[in-house]
Amino acid sequence: MNGAESLVHTLLGCGVETCFTNPGTSEMHFVAALDRIPGMRCVLALQENVATGAADGYYRMTGKPAATLLHCGPGLANGLANLHNARRARSGIVNVVGDQATYHRPLDAPLTADAEGWARPVSTWVRTAQSAGNVGRDAASAVQAARTAPGGIATLILPSDASWNDGGAIAEPLPVPKPPPVDAHAVRQAARVLRQQKNVLLFLGGAAVHEGAQRLAWRIAAMTGAKLMTEGSNARTQRGRGRLPLERVPYNVDAAVKVLAPFEHLILVNAVPPVGFFAYPGKPSQFARPGAELHVLTRPEQDAESALQALVDELGAPPAAIPNNGPKPARAGGAPTPENLASTIAAMLPEGAVVVDESVSYGRGFFKNTHAAAPHDWLQIVGGAIGAGIPLATGAAIGLRAIGGGARRVLALQADGSAMYTVQGLWTQAREKLPVTTVILSNRKYQILIGEYLAVGANPGRTALDMLDLGNPDIGWVRLAESFGVEAAEADTLETCGELMARSFRRPGPFLIELAI
């Protein structure tokens, strides 16, 4: 058995069954091993940032790491932005990077690069397999690291001789460490604050926005009068009827400071203290009011649901029914507005759908009008590096298929500028026949940056506008999608958009709607 074969056997034995790949010469023995050994679902991505973003989407839906297969330092570098996003989402990924043979590395051949150096800032674990005999053991360690709460990016660098040499040994799965236990002192402290103080916010992040944790948080809020809010961006929020209408901290600094101003105490549940995306002259960087006290109930790697249960018990909080989110909004017509598009989505979203939200400026208000939609999952771009949406939607659909949820529709709400970073992902959706509907929010500009530009008091001249405008030439989304094998159509009213969405929801494969906004 060679090293590459021991890698494939070990990954499969550890429950890693999907690999998002973009191979090169140094990975040919890994490719051959994947070919010979049945069991691994290999999904080709035409750019590494699609592969890494898809692995993120896969984890968010399955809670299981997928592997990647990337080519040398430069292939890894292409995938870094979405590894950054995955790190922020706390997704687990076994990130496999093929590299030069150990004895070839000193010759400094063209593709030789500091892959470990590039991997380190996005990874919780990095190792270069030094020989074929170590590959299995290293792979088992990588899976263990990827599965360690809350999920981590484990980068295994695989020199080509470690792949092709004989002496590979399959390693047994390593035990996944239990999340650090709930801190009884933190629970008592939170209970004391909730009993004694007014103006308390339970601030939810990570798995604390999943359904079970929501129900417990609601019991606490209903008993104590504390308010609930989530981080501005969340990896996967369970929403819709029967779930809480949770609001997020706004993106805009003034708006965020305003909504947090009443709170003298923030109890953090898998969340980190809220800060601005950026600093602005004369504005605060931290959103909580000055002097507000922060209490950590759980760090991101701890189990939010157990901690909230312990807090419910400590307080003796009785069961509380989740409030009714009101009637489902009606489908809207006419020229698109963010509110009316959100209502149309809420009216039409199939139960169990997964919304991937890279709507950037247009989607700021989408949450408000979608609380009463059928139960669904909502995935956001957590790390701010745009170009996540199409890969996330792709990986989420593959993940759903892997866990028997292949009929669930993915709806990607996708700003046009961001879509262009990883547009190749549409091709993977077509090839894999994935049930993804992409709505391109086509404003033909970097609208958010125009807003930021105006906000600094500057008036955009020709040079600035040329850097913020995507027209001239206009991008032909329908032709682009069709050329990748994805059916597509244009809409400039919400009636047409609704009809196209309904049509797309009835078919098994991908569909793209260019919505002129």
Report the nearest approach of ligand TPP to the CB of residue 99 (Å).
25
Distances (CA, A) of 40 to 33, 65, 127, 367, 511: 10, 13, 22, 37, 27
Chosen residue from 80, 143, 332, 385 binding ligand TPP by CB under 6 A: 385
Query: Is 364 an interacting residue with respect to ligand TPP (CB under 6 A)?
Result: no
Total site size for ligand TPP, rule CB under 6 A: 18
Tokens standing for residue 265: 């105490």
Chosen residue from 312, 443, 481, 515 binding ligand TPP by CB under 6 A: 443
Query: Is 445 an interacting residue with respect to ligand TPP (CB under 6 A)?
Result: yes
At 177, give phi and psi (nearest 5°).
-60, 140
Q: Which is nearer to ligand TPP, 230 or 418 (CB)?
A: 418
Query: Is 449 an interacting residue with respect to ligand TPP (CB under 6 A)?
Result: yes
Query: Is 305 an interacting residue with respect to ligand TPP (CB under 6 A)?
Result: no
Sign of the alpha-carbon dihedral angle for 376, 382, 387, 388 = negative
Q: Which is nearer to ligand TPP, 433 or 445 (CB)?
A: 445
The CB-side HSE value for 486 (13 A sphere, CA atoms) comes to: 31
Tokens standing for residue 517: 């906004």
Which residues inside 45-64 make contact with ligand TPP, applying CB under 6 A? none
Report the nearest approach of ligand TPP to the CB of residue 488 (Å).
18
Query: Is 442 an interacting residue with respect to ligand TPP (CB under 6 A)?
Result: no
Query: Is 386 an interacting residue with respect to ligand TPP (CB under 6 A)?
Result: yes
CA trace torsion 419, 425, 431, 434 (10° rounding): -70
Query: Is 357 an interacting residue with respect to ligand TPP (CB under 6 A)?
Result: no
Determine the interface stretch with ligand TPP among 136-144, 262-270, 381-389, 423-431 (rule: CB under 6 A). 381-389
Chosen residue from 30, 218, 362, 511 binding ligand TPP by CB under 6 A: 362
Q: Between 69 and 98, how does the x/- string for binding to ligand TPP read (CB under 6 A)?
A: ------------x-----------------
Q: Which is nearer to ligand TPP, 83 or 171 (CB)?
A: 83
Report the nearest approach of ligand TPP to the CB of residue 69 (Å).
23
Residues paired with 238 in a beta bridge: 377
d(CA 243, CA 245): 7
d(CA 480, CA 484): 7
* DSSP secondary structure of 393-438: HHHHHHHHHHTT-TTSPEEEEEEHHHHGGGTTHHHHHHHTT--EEE
| Residue, CB closest to ligand TPP | 417
Exposure string for 350-381, b = 16+ CB within 10 A, e = fewer: beebbbbbbbbbbbbebbebbbbbbebbbbbb
Determine the interface stretch with ligand TPP among 92-100, 226-234, 380-388, 494-502 (rule: CB under 6 A). 380-388
Query: Is 417 an interacting residue with respect to ligand TPP (CB under 6 A)?
Result: yes
Query: Is 212 an interacting residue with respect to ligand TPP (CB under 6 A)?
Result: no
Chosen residue from 418, 422, 429, 438 binding ligand TPP by CB under 6 A: 418
Instruction: Find the distance separating the first CA and the last CA of the chain, reported in whole Å.
Output: 57
Chosen residue from 447, 481, 488, 510 binding ligand TPP by CB under 6 A: 447
Tokens standing for residue 417: 């500028």
At 479, give phi and psi (nearest 5°).
-65, -40
Query: Is 448 an interacting residue with respect to ligand TPP (CB under 6 A)?
Result: yes
Q: Which is nearer to ligand TPP, 429 or 443 (CB)?
A: 443
Query: Is 366 an interacting residue with respect to ligand TPP (CB under 6 A)?
Result: no
The CB-side HSE value for 404 (13 A sphere, CA atoms) comes to: 0
d(CA 180, CA 164): 39
Report the nearest approach of ligand TPP to the CB of residue 477 (Å).
12
- Choose among 176, 156, 150: nearest CA to 89: 150
The contact set with ligand TPP (CB under 6 A) reads 81, 360-362, 384-387, 415-418, 443, 445-449
